[in-house]
Every structure is written in structure tokens, then in C-alpha cells.
């Protein structure tokens, strides 16, 4: 990707331009296949404008089509920004009907948001999820709801002016999902994951299952790519 050699497709996202190849994108993403095989301008000019989408999420989508992974954005220097990036990638995966990308983004999301409901950024993450996904897409929604359900006793004791209580009052759909979740209990496939670091060089990461006990681990990259 981003090489002029044999490139026959250009993806524009604002002022950013990505050089790509139809044989790679069209074989994996239905949207690109339709755009390039129709009689529209995109098919003849070889230029597709995605300026209405988040540029980092578009980059991740294209990178994923080539390598089945993607690195963390250079500007994502905090857990909050990394988590929000995965939400954006998950959302673009839904928009362009790429389930494998959504699954990958969900797995990476678990690295940054495990049992972090007390963190200051958690409400921002929930807002982003409910703004970027429909109610029928349960991946990220069910994950944050299950976090709430698993810590319901602590959350219920919080003051009404606490960030979490305000969030529940603000987003009715999230509050309803949590109410239903409490009634059903945790879904069978739910696991709380210990945070793991993401290699800023190659984007590789791993998930460490948290079984309710303290797990000691050293800070540092998780791979030996460098």
C-alpha cells in the first residue's frame, strides 16, 4: 500500500491520499468492488473520496486489507486515544461491511479497555461506541455493558453526580442495555482482559485473560520486531 508501483486506485481522505491496488481492495471489500465495477466516476478515474470518514480509521482499514493488521496511530499516545481509535476502526468496519476488521478491532480494544470503568476516559469511549454503531451491532456494545454488569455493585453505590451515573442518565440506550444485562447476567463468551501493551512499531498485541487474580507483568513492547 502507498506505493506507486502497479497502483491503480487512489483513496482520498481530506488532504491525505493513499495509493492502493484494486485487486487487493475489491476482492475483500464489497464497497470498493461496487465502486470500481460501476459506471460511476470512481471507476473511470480510479479515485475514491472517503473524506467523510476518519483518516486514521481509513488508513487502518486499508492496512488491514493488505496485512490483516494495522499499527497504532503515531498520535495515539494514551490509552484513551488508542481505545477511541479502535472504536473508530470498528465503526468503519461496520460501515463498509468488513466483519474480520471489526473482530480484529474488538480484540485490540480489549487491550485498552478491560476493567477500566473507573478511568476518566471510559464515558468518552462509551459515547463513541453508541454514536458509531447501530443497536443491531452488539460487539463493542456488549463488551462495555458486560464490564458495567460485572462491577454493578460498585457502580450502584456511586453518587448520582459521578461520571458513570451521569453517563447512564445521558445515554438512554446504554442505560437500557445495562439494565437488560443485569437481568441476564454476563454473556457466556465475556472475559475481562488484563491490559497488554501494543507494539508501536508493528502494531502487534496480545490479550492476557484476567481470572480475578493479580497478574504481574513487565512494561515494554510485546514483540521483537525491532
pLDDT in tens, 180-226: 988 876 555 455 554 555 555 555 554 444 433 333 434 444 455 55
Query: Could you tell me if 6 and 71 lie in one domain?
Result: no
- Top-confidence range, 127-131, 147-151, 209-213: 127-131
Tell whether 169 and 67 lie within a shared domain: yes
* The predicted structure's pLDDT at residue 42: 73
- Other Cβ atoms less than 10 A from the Cβ of 196: the count is 16
Range of the domain at 96: 55-211
What's the CA gap between 158 and 144, in Å, rounded? 18
DSSP per-residue letters across 135-203: TT--HHHHHHHHHHHHTHHHHHTS-TTSHHHHHHHH-HHHHHHHHHHHHH-S-TT--PEEP----TTT-
pLDDT value, residue 198:
53
185 plus 77 within the same structural domain: yes
* 98 assigned to some structural domain: yes
Flag whether 175 is in a domain: yes
Asked if residue 226 belongs to a domain, the reply is no
Q: Please compute, for residue 117, the number of CA atoms within 13 A of its CA located in the half-sphere on the CB side.
A: 22
Into how many domains does the chain fold? Answer: 2
Domain boundary among 13, 30, 52: 52
Indicate whether 76 and 102 sit together in one domain: yes
Calpha distance 3→14 (Å, rounded) = 19
Return the CATH number at 27. Answer: 3.30.710.10
- Stretch 119-127: mean pLDDT, rounded? 92
pLDDT digits (tens, 9 = 90+) for 36-95: 987 777 777 889 999 999 999 999 999 999 999 999 898 888 888 999 999 999 999 999
Amino acid at each position: 500500500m502507498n506505493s506507486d508501483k502497479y497502483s491503480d486506485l487512489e483513496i482520498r481522505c481530506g488532504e491525505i491520499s493513499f495509493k492502493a491496488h484494486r485487486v487487493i481492495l475489491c476482492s475483500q471489500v464489497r464497497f470498493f468492488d461496487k465502486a470500481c465495477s460501476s459506471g460511476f466516476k470512481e471507476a473511470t478515474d480510479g479515485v475514491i473520496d472517503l473524506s467523510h470518514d476518519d483518516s486514521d480509521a481509513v488508513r487502518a482499514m486499508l492496512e488491514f486489507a493488505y496485512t490483516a493488521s494495522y499499527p497504532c496511530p503515531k498520535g495515539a499516545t494514551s490509552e484513551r486515544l488508542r481505545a477511541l481509535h479502535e472504536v473508530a476502526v470498528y465503526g468503519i468496519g461496520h460501515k463498509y461491511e468488513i466483519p474480520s476488521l471489526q473482530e480484529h478491532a474488538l480484540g485490540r480494544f480489549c487491550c485498552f479497555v478491560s476493567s477500566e470503568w473507573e478511568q476518566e476516559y471510559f464515558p468518552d469511549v462509551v459515547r463513541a461506541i453508541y454514536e458509531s454503531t447501530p443497536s443491531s451491532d452488539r460487539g463493542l456494545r456488549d463488551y462495555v455493558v458486560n464490564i458495567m454488569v460485572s462491577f454493578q455493585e460498585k457502580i450502584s453505590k456511586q453518587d448520582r453526580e459521578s461520571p458513570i451515573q451521569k453517563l447512564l442518565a445521558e445515554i438512554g440506550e446504554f442505560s437500557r442495555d445495562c439494565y437488560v444485562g443485569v437481568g441476564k447476567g454476563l454473556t457466556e463468551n465475556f472475559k475481562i482482559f488484563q491490559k497488554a501493551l501494543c507494539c508501536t512499531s508493528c502494531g502487534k498485541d496480545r490479550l492476557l485473560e484476567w481470572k480475578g487474580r493479580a497478574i504481574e507483568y513487565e512494561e515494554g513492547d510485546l514483540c521483537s520486531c525491532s
